[in-house]
Amino acid sequence: MTTRFRDTLSGELRPLEPIEPGHIGIYSCGPTVYGPTHIGNFRSFLFADILVRYLRYRGLTVTWVMNVTDIDDRIIANANAAGEPIGDLTGRWLERFKADFAALRMTPPDVLPRATEHIDEMVAIIGRLLERGHAYRTDDGSIFFRISSWPAYGRLARLDPAQLQVGERVEADDYGKDDVRDFALWKGPKPGEPSWDTAIGPGRPGWHIECSAMSMRHLGESFDIHTGGVDLIFPHHEDEIAQSEASTGKTFVRTWMHCDHLRLGGAKMARRVGNIARVSELLEQGVSPRALRYALIAVHYRQALEYTDESIAAAAAAIERLDTIESALDAYAQERPDATDLDEVLAGARARFEAALDDDLNVSAALAAVFDLVRELNRRIAERSMSTADAARALGTLRDLDRVLAILPDEAPGLPPGAAELLAARETARADRDWASSDRLRDELAALGVAVEDTRDGQRWKRSEGV
Ligand SMILES: [Zn+2]
């Protein structure tokens, strides 16, 4: 089975063919660090996380680059409004972003480059665009990309060439399809704005040039996969393609993958709509990080995802089922010959899981394969029809598939101090049929965040997680 992903530019499902055999370079547009990143952004980042994890599971070496925009119109406005140095503001929100992605078990990107550390690379690209006639200066020292010089402009966003407003300019970093005009590569110096002295004159970069500079610096002039949310297709990614290809003469990106919106209360989650939810707020409200991760990854990336109380409750229930099977398989002990058909069942589940992800990263079908396997294993546990070794092999398969999903409980979760002694005392109490002490010890363990359950295989415990 070939791994195929849908490429936004061609509109086709394309087989994954690495530029360099065995290696995939992936660039994901990352956060603009002027405030907390909301879970709509995290849906897009976690889609890229699943992509990276799956390609690694498939044995490929992946270099994952996610940029940090630490200079743009909004950052400058927020820092000026708060009377705070820009570096302090962006540094604080970058740390928060890292804490949030760790809580959501996102793979740390291999490179997390900051825009302000790549000014030289941006200046070099803009210099080449000026030399080749794809860019021009204005009186205030700004430099714009000339879209009429690039006939392919508009292919990604499927723009009608009649929409192009030739010779007119848009200065804002973010603009809509009604403003298909020459866009700012470099912004001339202004009072109250940071400025760099460079070979193309003083000023600061526009937003779009940042991603061309950082992706090509870390992945080369042509690389395999570029990801982002659908709202970045225009103008951001359209502009990235134009300025990158016009400066190098090479194909910029092989496959463009775009993640659909997260919706809350019937509308796309967006700061300007005001319907945003942040990771730390949800965790403080008692949502478990694993349930939140599950809720954000469980729907195919090209479908809109509605975040509701019901969707997070369903995610929490799914996590609970995984916790239960994990501890049941871990505790399972049965002296009997190995089941003759278990390997086939495990291999079948794995084949379904891989076929789903090979088919344009169909994570909902991959999760269905996992939960069908969980149901089958629960049946076998109830029947006592597996050997101890069978249960270990089944758990090994679940753990291996979880390299992609990262939703199972941590392996060998540590007990809080004092809990091991209470568990041992409770085991003795139960052996002595001292049910009153056993119940009291269960309550004491619960107070430490350890949930105990009695099974045929003895007492089983797990860390209780708020949901
Ligand atoms: Zn970007």
Q: Output the CA 72–ligand 1 centroid distance in Å.
A: 12
Q: Output the CA 452–ligand 1 centroid distance in Å.
A: 48
**Token pair for 166:** 């030739």
Q: Output the CA 228–ligand 1 centroid distance in Å.
A: 8
For 36, 75, 192, the CA distances from 83, given in Å and listed in that order, are 19, 12, 11
Q: Name the pTM for this structure.
A: 0.89
Nearest to 295 by CA among 39, 466, 99: 39
Q: Output the CA 131–ligand 1 centroid distance in Å.
A: 24
DSSP string for 187-226:
E---TTS--B--TT-SBEE-HHHHHHHHHHHHH-SSEEEE
Q: Output the CA 255–ligand 1 centroid distance in Å.
A: 15
Q: Output the CA 184–ligand 1 centroid distance in Å.
A: 15
**Token pair for 311:** 């969707």
Q: Output the CA 215–ligand 1 centroid distance in Å.
A: 9
Q: Output the CA 368–ligand 1 centroid distance in Å.
A: 33
Q: Output the CA 75–ligand 1 centroid distance in Å.
A: 15
DSSP H or E stretch at residue 452: strand 450-455
Q: Output the CA 451–ligand 1 centroid distance in Å.
A: 45
- Output b/e per residue, 236-255; b: 16+ Cβ within 10 A: bbbbbbbbbbbbbeeebbbb
Q: Output the CA 227–ligand 1 centroid distance in Å.
A: 9
Q: Output the CA 233–ligand 1 centroid distance in Å.
A: 10
User: Cis link prior to 108 (omega < 30° from 0)?
Assistant: no
Separation CA 81–CA 93 (nearest Å): 16
Task: Please report where in the chains the tokens 């997390």 appear, as a residue.
Answer: 112
- Phi, psi angle pair for 27, to nearest 5°: -115, 130
Separation CA 316–CA 405 (nearest Å): 15
Separation CA 177–CA 344 (nearest Å): 53
Could you state, in chain order, the average pLDDT of each consecutive group of 10 residues for the chain (467 residues)?
Answer: 94 97 97 91 97 97 97 90 93 94 96 97 98 96 95 93 84 84 95 95 96 98 98 96 98 98 87 83 93 97 95 96 94 94 98 98 98 98 96 97 95 74 87 91 91 84 65
Q: Output the CA 294–ligand 1 centroid distance in Å.
A: 25
Alpha helices in 5-72 (DSSP H): 39-57
Separation CA 97–CA 105 (nearest Å): 12
Nearest-Å Rg of the Cα atoms of the chain is 26
Separation CA 193–CA 244 (nearest Å): 26
The amino acid sitting at 444 is: E
Residue 177: alpha-carbon gap to chain centroid: 27
Q: Output the CA 237–ligand 1 centroid distance in Å.
A: 7
Q: Output the CA 163–ligand 1 centroid distance in Å.
A: 23
CB-CB contact of 340 with 467 (8 Å): no
Q: Output the CA 291–ligand 1 centroid distance in Å.
A: 28
Dihedral sign for Cα atoms in the order 386, 389, 394, 398: positive
Separation CA 107–CA 87 (nearest Å): 25
Q: Output the CA 204–ligand 1 centroid distance in Å.
A: 16
Q: Output the CA 279–ligand 1 centroid distance in Å.
A: 22
Q: Output the CA 117–ligand 1 centroid distance in Å.
A: 15
Q: Output the CA 358–ligand 1 centroid distance in Å.
A: 26
**Token pair for 296:** 């954000």
The amino acid sitting at 322 is: L
Q: Output the CA 241–ligand 1 centroid distance in Å.
A: 11
User: Cis link prior to 15 (omega < 30° from 0)?
Assistant: no
Q: Output the CA 315–ligand 1 centroid distance in Å.
A: 30
CB-CB contact of 112 with 156 (8 Å): no
CB-CB contact of 307 with 277 (8 Å): yes
> In the prediction, which pLDDT does 1 show?
65
The amino acid sitting at 242 is: A
Separation CA 278–CA 37 (nearest Å): 7
Q: Output the CA 408–ligand 1 centroid distance in Å.
A: 32
Collapsing DSSP states into helix, strand and coil, what is residue 169? Answer: strand
> In the prediction, which pLDDT does 419 show?
84
Q: Output the CA 235–ligand 1 centroid distance in Å.
A: 10
Number of CB atoms found within 10 A of residue 21's CB: 7
Number of CB atoms found within 10 A of residue 118's CB: 22
| Rounded-to-10 torsion of CA 444, 312, 359, 233 | -130
Q: Output the CA 252–ligand 1 centroid distance in Å.
A: 13
Burial environment of residue 15 by CB neighbours within 10 A (0 to 12, 13 to 18, 19 or more): exposed
Q: Output the CA 319–ligand 1 centroid distance in Å.
A: 33
